[in-house]
Structure 1
Amino acid sequence: MEEEEDDDDEVYSYGGGKGYKANKQKTKKKKEKPTQPQKLVPSDDNFPTDLEEGTTQTELDWLTKRNGALRNVTDQGNRRTCWTIASTRGLSASLVIADRFDPPDANLSALHMLVGLIDKVDTTGGLQNLEHLRSFMINWGAVLEEDCDCPQLALESKKDSSKPKPVLCTNKKKAKQTRTFKVKDLIILKEVDEKELMRLVNLGPVAVTIDVHTAFSTFKGDGIYTGPTNKCRKLDRHMLLVYGYGTDKLTGIHYWRVQNSAGLTWGMNGYGKIVRQISRGTEANKSLFTSVIYPQV
């Protein structure tokens, strides 16, 4: 399906962050309690139609399926750095699931991404073009948090031209070689096919983007986010992780499980549910996700 283009989409960047004040370029360790599996069978009227062919699995939760696939919920605050968080966590999950390293070591640095692309972001950290992220992850890769000594005040340096430009940690002279994790490619799907997304999520958590409206930024509880009303104004673009899927027992609504980066007050302790396309009514209602991003490792 083709993605609708807003007339002013070019001025939006990927960032999110608390407040979501129409962010244009010019301007605990708690975990979600998993629900009990919905025992749907193919003969049920409500059996989901977006599953992979030949499968009857209607529930998936990487939070419980693989230890360490997801890190604890974080809070990006007012910085529009969701893309650094979702991209590094998506890569971390892929490396853990592929047994490239153990979960305690899979803490990749989001700050490394920000400093590496400091010339490509606005003063709040928002990244407009995801191709810059793709190029960086291919050519430079990610580093572990323990190996990253990038300056925490990188954005402050960008705002003040009198301060020196932050130096990427892999460019600094060190006594030991910094271990880097490059990707073969970073796939960016701008036309969202939720059947393809289902296939990808079966392999591991996947980063997606979504348009932010007030209903999303203030979403709380264990309900299902079903999208904005016609009166809602688009505030920003945002990137987060899809880590599973399921079906609500009472309503029969099919949903995606997501991990946000807005702290523990969003959704249910930082986790949430977003309606899948097949439960949005008619075929004219496309996916709420605007793109899908995943690494080839």
Structure 2
Amino acid sequence: MVPEASCPWTGNVDKELVCTHKHVDEEFVYKVNDLVYIDNIVEKDLILLLQNQSILAVMQYCPELEDHRESIYDCLRRSTSNKKSAKKMRRSGLHVVEVLGYNTYTAGDTEGKHYWLVQMARGTEWGVNGVGKVMIQISRKEDKSLFVSALYPKVGLSEA
């Protein structure tokens, strides 16, 4: 996925106006040949995919995600013994994010905490300038991945 701000504007421009993003005709363009859906998440495979492109992932959503800022998000399951907690758990579900990359936070922790860098459709107010951290499965110990599925395009060159 490419942010809209990175895409050059094309179209007709009045002679008095100067266009800073002129369209360049190219002989070849990239074309999406297929969309690949991954149902059984193996996070090592996602890391390999991220070497070439970002991917979309469907992840477990807990209400804490709405107010998430700088820490590494882990969707900790809460007790449903009181009515307020039970109501929060009913609102939990799934959410689509763009996975941009991954990293490891090592300050004060000998093992380090591995996390995905993700962006979701909440704008720059969420996370840090719109990018948050989601814990990778290996750092969640015995828990499974927060990602339940993923999607990415297979692209190739095509003549324009």
SS in 2 for 1:202: coil
SS in 2 for 1:184: strand
Counterpart check, 1:71 vs 2:15 = no
In the other structure, the counterpart of 1:288 is: 146
- 1:70 and 1:257 map into 2 onto residues whose CA distance is 15
- 1:253 and 1:265 map into 2 onto residues whose CA distance is 24
Counterpart check, 1:104 vs 2:19 = no
Q: Which amino acid aligns with 1:209?
A: V
Q: Give the structure, 1 or 2, with the largest relative contact order (CA under 8 Å, sep 6 or more).
A: 2
SS in 1 for 2:35: strand
218, 226, 235: which one aligns with 2:74: 226
Counterpart check, 1:246 vs 2:103 = yes
Larger strand share, 1 or 2: 2
Counterpart check, 1:203 vs 2:52 = yes
Instruction: Report how many aligned residue pairs link the two structures.
Output: 126
Q: Which amino acid aligns with 1:265?
A: E
SS in 2 for 1:230: coil
Q: Shift of residue 249 of structure 1?
A: 2.2
Q: Shift of residue 211 of structure 1?
A: 2.2
Q: How much identity, in percent, do the aligned residues show?
A: 32
- 1:146 and 1:291 map into 2 onto residues whose CA distance is 35
In the other structure, the counterpart of 1:217 is: 66
- TM (norm. structure 1) is 0.39
- 1:104 and 1:72 map into 2 onto residues whose CA distance is 5
125, 132, 139: which one aligns with 1:265: 125
- 1:182 and 1:277 map into 2 onto residues whose CA distance is 33
Deviations 1:170-225 (A, max 9, x none): xxxxxxxxxx97522111111111011011011111110112210112212x2100
In the other structure, the counterpart of 1:187 is: 36
- 2:42 and 2:97 map into 1 onto residues whose CA distance is 17
- Taking a change above 3 Å as real, the CA distance of residues 266 and 295 of structure 1, as seen in their structure-2 partners, is same
Q: Which amino acid aligns with 1:207?
A: L
- TM (norm. structure 2) is 0.69
In the other structure, the counterpart of 1:236 is: 93
Counterpart check, 1:279 vs 2:119 = no
Q: Contact (CA 8 Å) 2:120, 2:130: kept in 1 or not?
A: yes
Q: Contact (CA 8 Å) 2:35, 2:153: kept in 1 or not?
A: yes
Q: Any unmatched runs of 5+ in structure 2?
A: 12-28, 80-87, 156-160
- Taking a change above 3 Å as real, the CA distance of residues 228 and 72 of structure 1, as seen in their structure-2 partners, is farther
Q: What is the RMSD of the two structures over their aligned residues, measured on CA atoms?
A: 2.5
